[in-house]
Amino acid sequence: RYVILDIPLLFETNRLTKFMKYTVLVYCDPPTQLSRLMKRSGLSQAEAEARIAAQLPLDEKCKLATHIIDNSGDRENTHRQVLLLHARLEDSLHFLWARLAAGALVAGLGGLAYLLLRHLIS
């Protein structure tokens, strides 16, 4: 189906994007980003701000991403966005061959069952 790679500086390094069909940017608003970074990494506000400033600006990342998830809200909101993205990826034409193969298999088994029942009845 698809593989998810968690690469925090994907767009900054720009080395792996050529191997990816889709990219997903998961972002949060700047105050939340700063707060989470300080809490997670034990950084001071100045250190966290410097680390964020060293990254590509969010608007540039948004231009490079094929899908975007806003992680500023609660977990439920993010979860809904992830499920919607999953459904979009599953329903995309890139997986058409798998759906066609499954449909052919079901049709073939249905036809086989019909012929078997017809043979048993007659």
Residues 42 and 73 occupy one common structural domain: yes
Tens-digit pLDDT profile for residues 57-88: 999 999 999 999 999 999 999 999 999 999 98
d(C-alpha 78, C-alpha 89), whole Å: 17
Per the confidence metrics, is the pTM higher than 0.85?
A: no
Report the C-alpha gap between 72 and 74 in whole angstroms: 7
Q: Helix, strand, coil proportions of the chain in percent (round to 5)? A: 65, 5, 25
Q: How many domains does the chain have?
A: 2
Does 39 reside within a domain? yes
Closest CA relative to residue 51, chosen from 63, 65, 64, 33: 33
User: What residue numbers bound the domain in which 58 lies?
Assistant: 10-91
Mean pLDDT over the full length of the chain: 87
